[in-house]
Amino acid sequence: MGHRQTNTNTLLEYIESSEHPSKNFFFPYSELKISEFSPALKAAAGQLDQDLTRIKAETVVTFENTVVAFEQAFEALNLIATQFGILKSSNATPDLFAIAGDLMIEISRIEKKVFLDADLFKRVQFLFQKKESLKLTDEESKLLEEYFKSFDRNGALLSVDQKSKLKVIDDQLNQVSAQFAENALKATQKFELVINDKKDLKGLPDSLIESAQRGPDKWIFTLKAPSLLPFLMFSEIRELRKKMWFANSSRAFNDEFSNVEVVKKIITLRHRRAQLLGTSSHAEFVLKERMAETPDKVFDFIQNLYQVVIKGAQKDFEEILYFKQTMDGQKDLMPWDYLFYSEKLKEKKYKLSEELLRPYFKLDSTLQGVFEIARRLYGLTFRKLESVPVFHEDVICYQVTEEKTQKFMALLYCDFFPRDEKQGGAWMSVVRKQGLFKGDVLRPHVMISCNFPRPSASQPSLLNFQEARTLFHEFGHALHEMLSDCRFQKLSGTEVLWDFVELPSQLMENWLLETDSLRLFAQHYKTKEMIPNSLIENLKQANQFQIGYQYLRQLQLAYLDMRVHTADPKEIEDLDKFEKKVTERFRLFPTIQGTNALCSFSHLFGGGYSAGYYSYKWAEVLEADCFEYFKEKGVLSSEVGQKFKNHILSRGGTEHPMELYKKFLGREPLLEPLLKRDGFL
């Protein structure tokens, strides 16, 4: 972070600035200090109180002076929470962690206090009950409905005593959720596999060896994805693969950063909260605001897919086991063997390997390919900006414009490389939401964060196929924000039901398997030759390789999530025993003592996917169905692209997702395209 000697507060200056927040109104990351968040939050809370007092003082209740004014009153608070969340994920320095728990609790406390305000709720309730006579636009009507539900789901209808209990629960939840994230990150950071003998590097790609080298005879491998996954995939030293796999699978479980009690506390608090709000479980509470609607429907969805894929998954497992036997004569197959022998078999069957593909997916070229696909489908152009304030030198920024009109559409920040202060995985976040801000409807500022291999002295950053897929996936989320065309932030971009939010991201992945789109960018970084047709065909065939096993793994995690969040917490006294029992029918490998998934399952306990992990597979049904339409018209069809933009990407949460979906395809989704694409039909 940048440091200044003055006593001014950059965050406050940004919030309070009278300057019109135009397309160049960049967030001042390079000037921001962590110490500025607390006073800025205090000031924002004070302003919020004044705004809400003014709303309640209005003698006549109207949509504009209540609902729209309420939306605008949260601008400063939302901005502070958003920026703190971005830094917490991407630049989690010790001084930031030191205030994280207290700041998150305070933000939550402010929000909960507002949504428990009886006088405010009466105004919203009054408008909601006479909604049909107010002559609202569809978007205004939806906003009113969403705020009514927000009050309801945050306890506005509870008694005074119940509201007090809810406040205590929410404070505790914020505290333990912050503790979970900190423990998971520290456990990941602590482990290092140090190799001092070159023979222990056998099988590893040169690029991985080079990035791990710390001296003449010292190489360090970590649990960050660009280090962990290729190590498990290529290391020929089985004991070292086991060490890496075990370290990753036992993170934050019965060690100094143990999340065992933290997870149990989160589960218990969520359960109590759900019951206080009139539902039987956290899952039931969550799913009231999902396309799936109920836990039973999710369990049925998982079970129906399980019945389709279990035989294929067992066949996939036996195929790897048999292949291992032919290679080394050993009859045992352990989890730390799977990626290694899977990669070897894929290479043999399809003349394809991750390292063979990597030269064709140079990060810079792949990013330009994503941009070109977006230009052809949605008419967007991207221009790199210089001298933009950022929180780390890795971050680059692009201005996004509409090609035909040159209209400014968005800023896109890209943060691609791993750091100690950055969490693992990949995600999209919003720097500034599209919608009403300071009296004007503004365009969004969006960020993509990944953990790709850094460029080395001898070569640029080269992606394996899964990393390229990750880039396309997160860009799909970014498109949902960048193409949003709504009036209100609460309804814009990805503010949709959670099991619909993955549709644009997973749909975008499809263009990585199409010849017409690969030809736009997939060229060898040295020879400049385009990816051969034979390699593309092998890539398409290999996309179904071990697909049953992959389905089973996703269903296992989705089922574990649902069981955790429908169970009585008293049933989960022994967290690990519960996990092992619940996942038994999904597991093909023997149980490995000392490992646990829940303790580092950030999607459930550090992100927003609790009772929602099923949504990845749910969204696959939607995206496979949608992509069939693209293929019918041509995968780079601007006609279909514009239709998808107009009916889905631009509309955010202004209508129920099923209505948006039917406007795009003319019908409800079908399961068959997914099962057909993945070889189950």
Digit-coded pLDDT (tens) for 10-38: 888 887 764 544 444 788 898 888 999 99
* 168-180 mean pLDDT: 91
278: DSSP letter: T
- CA–CA dist 497, 494 (Å, integer): 8
Q: Which helix (H) or strand (E) holds 193?
A: strand 193-195
What is the CB neighbour count within 10 angstroms for residue 139? 18
pLDDT of residue 94: 86
Residues 6 or more apart whose Cβ sits within 8 Å of residue 532 = none
- Per-residue pLDDT band for 7 (boundaries 50, 70, 90) equals low
Per DSSP (E only), the strands in 370-516 are 380-385, 396-402, 408-415, 427-432, 435-437, 440-442, 445-449
HSE-up (13 A, CA, CB side) for residue 386:
0
- CA–CA dist 528, 522 (Å, integer): 9
3-class DSSP assignment, residue 194: strand
* 472-491 mean pLDDT: 98
Which residue(s) pair with 218 in the sheet? 215
* 576-605 mean pLDDT: 94
Whole-number mean pLDDT of the chain? 93
- 361-394 pLDDT, tens digit per residue, is 999 999 999 999 999 999 999 999 998 999 999 9
φ and ψ of 427, to 5 deg: -160, 165
**Residue matched to tokens 């899977």:** 342
* 97-122 mean pLDDT: 89
Residue 1: pLDDT over 70: no
Radius of gyration over every alpha carbon of the chain, rounded to an integer in angstroms:
25
Q: Which helix (H) or strand (E) holds 218?
A: strand 218-221
pLDDT of residue 351: 87
> Measuring CA to CA, which residue among 248, 236, 245, 425 is closest to residue 343?
236
pLDDT of residue 4: 34
Cβ atoms of 443 and 21 within 8 Å: the answer is no
What are the structural domains of the chain?
Answer: 10-157 (1.10.1370.40), 192-249 (no CATH), 359-546+616-677 (1.10.1370.40)
Pairing of strands 218-221, 213-215: antiparallel
pLDDT of residue 430: 95
Q: Any idea which of 47-51, 56-60, 288-292, 540-544 has the lowest mean pLDDT?
A: 540-544
Query: What burial class does residue 283 get, using C-beta atoms within 10 Å of its C-beta: 0-12 exposed, 13-18 middle, 19+ buried?
Result: buried
Per DSSP (E only), the strands in 12-79 are none
pLDDT of residue 104: 85
* 487-500 mean pLDDT: 95
| Angle value at C-alpha 517, between 493 and 480, nearest 5 degrees | 0
Identity (one letter) of the amino acid at 204?
Answer: L
Q: Which helix (H) or strand (E) holds 101?
A: helix 94-115
Q: Specify whether the backbone of 455 is left (phi greater than 0), alpha (psi in -120 to 50) or beta.
A: beta
Angle between helices 335-350 and 295-328 (to 10 degrees): 70
pLDDT of residue 661: 96
Residue 303: pLDDT over 90: yes
pLDDT of residue 8: 67
- CA–CA dist 326, 308 (Å, integer): 29
- CA–CA dist 424, 96 (Å, integer): 17
- 448-473 pLDDT, tens digit per residue, is 999 999 998 889 999 999 999 999 99
- For residue 30, give both structure tokens: 């390079």
- Per-residue pLDDT band for 356 (boundaries 50, 70, 90) equals confident
Residue 331: pLDDT over 90: no
Which residue(s) pair with 447 in the sheet? 413, 429
- 623-680 pLDDT, tens digit per residue, is 999 999 999 999 999 999 999 999 999 999 999 999 999 999 999 999 999 999 998 9
What is the CB neighbour count within 10 angstroms for residue 168? 11
* 501-516 mean pLDDT: 96
- Position with higher pLDDT, 356 vs 669: 669
Residue 251: pLDDT over 90: yes
Pairing of strands 435-437, 440-442: antiparallel
Identity (one letter) of the amino acid at 154?
Answer: N
pLDDT of residue 2: 38
3-class DSSP assignment, residue 155: coil
Predicted TM-score of the model (pTM): 0.87
